[in-house]
Structure 1
């Protein structure tokens, strides 16, 4: 497979994931949480790198594309653990302990709570959440970027 085709597949895969995420957000009315946004940054980077790499496919640039997709996979893995309650997420997007809080502190905590929680799973298919699917697909995209970089 040619390097150019690999770049198109990798960047196109990130673009497809972004379109899917935006579809869930705007058509499916499922607003993203903080970690969902973090997962998008790597794909935006990969898309931009892909656009540049079609004209100038130098190896360091292609490795940056791989890093973008891989970073999304890693953040997705972290998000998956937060969703499954394996560990806590950032304080700004999960519910923490309320033990020992006064009624006033509890009220303040409720008023400051974000609308979208990172530890809720708004959608699943075959027992996997969107974050779970992002882990898998982003990792495959990172491997495609690596294959392209090794051909450069």
Structure 2
């Protein structure tokens, strides 16, 4: 049976681990020079929501909030799954910002320059690899991480609900 103390500890762990994912992605940008694509950025928002929900769950000793945090982490996993499919060419990205700019028939250079995004964006189908030689993209690593953390959070939220 779950005690309020274990709920607090579990929720604190989920909050820290949920915040670690987008912070690690930011570190890969800042220190390794990796550029994120639009789907990469979208994967971070559910983690921030999960971190806030888990922090609230720790403060209030609330298993339902921990459950919601786990669901938020799994939402990031769902976006990561979509992203892996885009990287593998299984389906196109639903985001227009994921496509690399292309020249249309009859477009001038000025038209192309005006059509570029305000800041450079990486196409979503160009996989980013954190470990050279390891054929697991950052999106695939996020998918695995989100599935594991989401499962742990859901399991911890159920403890004591018997």
TM-score (norm 1): 0.85
**1:109-148 aligned within 5 A:** 111-114=114-117, 115-116=120-121, 117-125=123-131, 126-148=134-156
**1:67-106 aligned within 5 A:** 67-89=71-93, 90-95=95-100, 101-104=104-107
- More relative contact order, 1 or 2 (CA 8 Å, 6+ apart): 1
Question: Is the Cα contact below 8 Å between 2:87 and 2:127 reproduced in 1?
Answer: yes
Provide the C-alpha distance between the structure 2 equivalents of 1:96 and 1:21, rounded to a whole number of angstroms: 24
Q: Which runs of 5+ in 2 are unaligned?
A: none
Alignment pair present for 1:149 and 2:152: no
15, 18, 42: which is aligned to 1:14?
Answer: 18
Question: Is the Cα contact below 8 Å between 2:71 and 2:154 reproduced in 1?
Answer: no
Q: Name the structure 1 match of 2:65.
A: 61
State the SS of the aligned residue for 1:32: coil
Question: Is the Cα contact below 8 Å between 1:46 and 1:69 reproduced in 2?
Answer: yes
Runs of 4+ in 1 over 4 A off after TM superposition: none
